[in-house]
Structures are given as C-alpha cells and as structure tokens.
Amino acid sequence: MEYSTFGRHVAVDTWGVDFEVLNNAELLQAHLVEAAEACGATVLSVQAKQFEPQGATVLVMLSESHLSIHTYPERGFAAVDCYTCGETVDPQLAIDYLVSILKPEKAYAKKLIRGLGELKVETPALGQQAELV
C-alpha cells in the first residue's frame, strides 16, 4: 500500500467574535464536528475543555489528522486550525464553515502545504463572513 505525505494545514486567527460563542465548549464541540463532516473528514474522537473563568479548547482527532479551536472570549479571539493528510479532504472547507459560524470582525489566515519538501505558505481566501486582512 502506498501512502501520501501530502497535507494541507490551514490556520486562522479570528477577532471580534461574540463572547458567549467563544465561552461555550459544548457549542464549539458541536460546530467542530459539523465542520469536520462538512469537509469529508472522519472523526475519531473529540476532547473539549471549558476553562474558568472563561475560555475553551476543543480538539477533534480525525483519521486524516486534526481540527482545533482555542478561545479567549475576553479578547474576542479564537485560534482555529485544521490539518489533513492526503488529497481527498479539504481543510479549507472546515475553516470556512467555522468562520461562517464564528462571524468574526476580522480574520487572518495562512495555509501550509506540507509533506512535499520545503513548506509552502499561501494566504487562502476565507468565506464572505470574514474580512481577510
């Protein structure tokens, strides 16, 4: 059997997101699972942690790699990333889904192309909900 090392890793910093959305690990967990399904990934497990006094981290382990969010509600900030191996699952679809849910005022994104040698960095276009800066 031949395996591909090719992968895409999309990371986005979102700013100006509603406090209540960012401070709800249960809600974020449901949205991350939906995002994984939207991009065609296979969910293996989910870990979620609600922090006190605020903040959340959700990690979705995928057969293809991972999808995660780390939130700082007091700053309106969330760091979101999705890495997938192979060519059949597009992590950009998961990121676009999450940006449409988070509705940030601003979003800054980068895509890394991995497993082909030197890392290639691109700036992806995000969904219309976010202003790409």
Q: Quick one: tokens of 25? A: 């690990």
DSSP character at residue 40: T
Helices (H), 11-120: 19-22, 25-38, 91-102
- Give me the active site residues, please: 65, 70, 85
- Stated pTM of the model: 0.88
Length of the chain measured in residues: 133
> What's the rounded Cα separation, in Å, for the pair 39 and 76?
26
Domains and CATH numbers, the chain: 7-122 (3.60.90.10)
Q: What single letter denotes the amino acid at residue 82?
A: C
pLDDT in single tens digits along all 133 residues of the chain: 566 678 999 999 999 999 999 999 999 999 999 999 999 999 999 999 999 999 999 999 999 999 999 999 999 999 999 999 988 999 999 999 999 999 999 999 999 998 888 878 888 877 643 333 3
